[in-house]
Amino acid sequence: MASNRFWVLLLAILSLTSLVATTVNIPPKVSAASTSSISLIGFFNAWNNTGVPNPTITVRQGDTITIQLSSGDGIAHRFFVDVDANGVTPDCPGADVCSNVFPPSTTLTFTVNFASGTYTYYCSIHPTTMLGRFVVLQSPISGGGGRRPLEM
């Protein structure tokens, strides 16, 4: 008889714990937007013509990005991210994110405020050789969340 009471009590505690867990709204852990610094060196035949040419740049929505741009070959370059997917002619000012024309160097800082997805970045002066992938990941959940109470 005592053994049956134990199991009934244990089942009641587990059921109550389960009910509380489904009705309490516990917000998830949130990763804040970050600040990243990227360096690209322009050569007429590729960004960062040594090591990994035209590297993929991966960021999150809401991140603030600083790109240090310099000319490795002494000729003019202009970095841009083709946000509106209309090709190698930059829309600046407009939808695209663009740097100033350089050499010797320039800095471009911006907040990634466009949709998650894969974009292309280019040199507007050498778009057929100086291009790479600019990947925007979805922003982390920013609060709230957790489980919703059961509707009765």
Q: What's residue 132's pLDDT?
A: 97
Does residue 84 form part of some domain? yes
The model's pLDDT over 104-143, given as tens digits with 9 standing for 90+, comes to 999 999 999 999 999 999 999 999 999 999 999 998 765 5
Does residue 54 form part of some domain? yes
Backbone angles phi, psi at 56, to 5 degrees: -75, 130
Give the domain extent around 69.
Answer: 35-137
**CB–CB of 112/61 below 8 Å?**
yes
Q: What's residue 16's pLDDT?
A: 46
Distance of alpha carbon 123 from alpha carbon 120, whole angstroms = 10
Backbone angles phi, psi at 20, to 5 degrees: -65, -40
Does residue 146 form part of some domain? no
pLDDT in tens, the chain (152 residues): 666 676 655 555 545 444 333 333 334 344 556 788 999 999 999 999 888 899 999 999 999 999 999 999 999 999 999 999 999 999 999 999 999 999 999 999 999 999 999 999 999 999 999 999 999 999 876 555 555 555 54
Tokens of 126: 């050498």
Does residue 79 form part of some domain? yes
**What is the tally of structural domains in the chain?**
1
Does residue 143 form part of some domain? no
Domain containing 131 — which CATH number? 2.60.40.420
Question: Model-level pTM?
Answer: 0.71
Backbone angles phi, psi at 106, to 5 degrees: -155, 165
